[in-house]
Amino acid sequence: GENVEQHPSTLSVQEGDSAVIKCTYSDSASNYFPWYKQELGKGPQLIIDIRSNVGEKKDQRIAVTLNKTAKHFSLHITETQPEDSAVYFCAARNTGRRALTFGSGTRLQVQP
């Protein structure tokens, strides 16, 4: 089955700096890669996703890149703000399996 590894497990940055979280996946058939943000006491919420036919996608301060050959994808947050502090999860899915496989999560702390 699919295996998703996520790094780092914790990340501390200064407000205004950029943050990068990286994930690798094992199943070359995976074709959908969402990123979720989980705030304290809440369920995960989708913030951005990318499909395997696209190499990069951007939404304001958030961008995701995908390298299918190397089987890794990354989340980039620019101009970080204290409200970006949360746990971020990457995930991967292939159509056949229909289940999301999640990474282990990254706790991002943005220092004011």
Partner 1 sequence: EAQVTQNPRYLITVTGKKLTVTCSQNMNHEYMSWYRQDPGLGLRQIYYSMNVEVTDKGDVPEGYKVSRKEKRNFPLILESPSPNQTSLYFCASSPTGGRGNEQFFGPGTRLTVL
Residue numbers at the binding site for partner 1 (CB under 8 A):
1, 4, 6, 9, 31-32, 34, 36, 41-46, 49, 51, 89, 93-95, 98-105
Write the DSSP assignment of 32-78 as a string of letters. EEEEEEE-TTS--EEEEEEETT-SEEEETTEEEEEETTTTEEEEEE-
Q: Which residue number, 43 or 112, has a Cβ lying nearer to partner 1?
A: 43
CB of 43 to partner 1, least distance (A): 3
Cα dihedral sign, 22-24-29-34: negative
Least Å from the CB of residue 26 to partner 1: 14
Q: For partner 1, give the closer residue by CB, 77 or 89.
A: 89
